[in-house]
C-alpha cells in the first residue's frame, strides 16, 4: 500500500495556493495543508472551491495557537485570531487546525507563566472549535524552539492538555519535533485515537539553522517509518503530510521539490 501524501504549502513556499493546488492535481498528491497566509491571499471561499474542485483532502490548516503575549490585549488578540483560524479551517473542510504553543512573551523568563497562557488560550477557543467541528491539533515543537516559538515541547505535554481539554482536541505529530524523545514509544501508544495529523521531514547532520534547515525524508537520521508505525498502531490512517521548512529547498524550483518528495516516499 502506498502511503497517501499531503503537501503542506510551506514546502513550496514560492508558489501561491492556486499553484500548490494545481501541482497536487498534476502529481497525483491527494492531500493539501495550507498555511493561512497563502489561504488568505487567495481568499478563503475561492480557495475552498478550488480545493473541492480538485478533489483534494485538506489534512490541516497551519496554524493557530501562539497565545502567550506580554499583555492582556495581546492575549485577547491572539484568541480572536484563533477564532478566525477556526472559521477558516471550517470553511475549507480542514481535518484540523494545527495549534502551536507560542514562545515566551518578549522580555519574559517565566516559562511556567507562558505555559499557563497557552492553556488559558486553548480553553478560550475550545467552544468555538467544537461548535465548528474543527479539531484543535496540538503540535509540540522541538525544544530548541521553546524560547521563541513553542512552549509546548513534548508529546506527553500535548497529551496532558488533550486529556484536560477533552473532545475537540488531538495532537499533530511531526517526526522532526519528537524523534529524539526517549519517552516517544510510550507517548505514541498513549496517543491512541488522538492523532489528528502526521508530518514528515528529516533531521540533517549537521543542522545549520534552528528553524529553516529541515531535510526531505531520507536526507537525515530520523527513522520515519518506525514512528509512522507507532502512529498507525495508535489508529492513524491519514498518510503523511510533507512539511519542509528549508532555506536550501526554498531556493530550488518547487517543481523539483515536489518530484523529490514523491521519489522519497519509501523513506516515509
Strands 195-200 and 135-138: unpaired
Among 71, 195, 190, residue whose Cα is nearest residue 138: 195
Please report how close the Cβ of residue 206 comes to a second copy at its closest, in angstroms: 7
Please report how close the Cβ of residue 118 comes to a second copy at its closest, in angstroms: 11
Question: Based on the number of CB atoms within 10 Å of its own CB, is 227 exposed (0-12), middle (13-18) or buried (19 or more)?
Answer: buried
Please report how close the Cβ of residue 108 comes to a second copy at its closest, in angstroms: 7
Q: Which is nearer to a second copy, 60 or 217 (CB)?
A: 217
Q: Which is nearer to a second copy, 76 or 221 (CB)?
A: 221
- Can you tell me the distance from the alpha carbon of 76 to that of 148, in angstroms, rounded to the nearest whole number? 19
Contacting residues toward a second copy, per CB under 8 A = 104, 108-111, 115, 142-144, 146-148, 153-154, 156-157, 179-183, 203, 205-208, 210, 220-223
Q: Give me the helix-helix angle, 44-53 and 72-91, nearest 10°.
A: 30
Q: Which is nearer to a second copy, 26 or 123 (CB)?
A: 123
Beta bridge partners of 6: 31, 241
- Can you tell me the distance from the alpha carbon of 239 to that of 3, in angstroms, rounded to the nearest whole number? 5
C-alpha cell of 175? 517526526
Q: Which is nearer to a second copy, 25 or 111 (CB)?
A: 111
Q: Which is nearer to a second copy, 16 or 207 (CB)?
A: 207
Length of the chain: 268
Would you say the C-alpha torsion 145, 147, 148, 154 has a positive or negative sign?
Answer: positive
Please report how close the Cβ of residue 194 comes to a second copy at its closest, in angstroms: 17
Please report how close the Cβ of residue 148 comes to a second copy at its closest, in angstroms: 5
Amino acid at each position: 500500500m502506498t502511503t497517501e501524501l499531503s503537501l503542506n504549502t510551506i514546502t513550496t513556499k514560492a508558489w501561491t495556493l492556486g499553484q500548490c493546488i494545481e501541482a497536487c492535481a498534476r502529481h497525483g498528491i491527494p492531500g493539501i495543508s495550507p498555511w493561512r497566509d497563502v489561504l488568505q491571499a487567495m481568499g478563503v471561499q475561492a480557495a475552498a472551491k478550488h480545493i473541492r474542485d480538485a478533489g483534494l483532502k485538506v489534512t490541516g490548516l497551519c496554524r493557530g495557537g501562539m497565545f502567550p503575549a506580554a499583555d492582556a490585549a495581546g492575549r485577547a488578540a491572539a484568541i480572536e485570531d484563533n477564532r478566525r483560524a477556526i472559521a477558516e479551517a471550517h470553511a475549507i473542510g480542514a481535518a484540523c487546525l494545527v495549534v502551536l504553543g507560542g514562545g515566551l512573551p518578549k522580555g519574559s523568563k517565566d516559562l511556567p507563566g507562558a505555559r499557563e497562557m497557552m492553556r488559558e488560550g486553548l480553553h478560550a477557543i475550545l467552544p468555538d472549535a467544537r461548535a465548528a467541528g474543527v479539531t484543535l491539533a496540538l503540535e509540540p515543537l522541538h525544544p530548541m524552539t521553546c524560547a521563541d516559538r513553542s512552549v509546548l515541547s513534548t508529546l506527553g505535554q500535548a497529551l496532558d492538555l488533550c486529556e484536560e481539554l477533552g473532545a475537540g482536541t488531538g495532537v499533530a505529530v511531526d517526526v522532526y519535533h519528537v524523534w529524539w524523545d526517549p519517552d516517544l514509544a510510550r507517548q505514541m501508544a498513549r496517543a491512541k485515537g488522538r492523532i489528528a495529523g502526521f508530518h514528515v521531514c528529516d533531521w540533517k547532520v549537521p543542522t545549520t539553522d534552528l528553524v529553516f534547515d529541515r531535510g526531505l525524508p531520507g536526507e537525515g537520521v530520523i527513522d520515519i517509518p518506525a514512528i509512522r508505525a507507532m502512529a498507525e498502531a495508535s489508529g492513524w490512517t491519514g498518510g503523511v503530510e510533507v512539511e519542509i521548512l528549508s532555506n536550501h529547498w526554498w531556493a530550488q524550483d518547487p517543481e523539483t521539490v515536489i518530484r523529490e518528495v514523491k521519489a522519497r516516499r519509501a523513506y516515509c
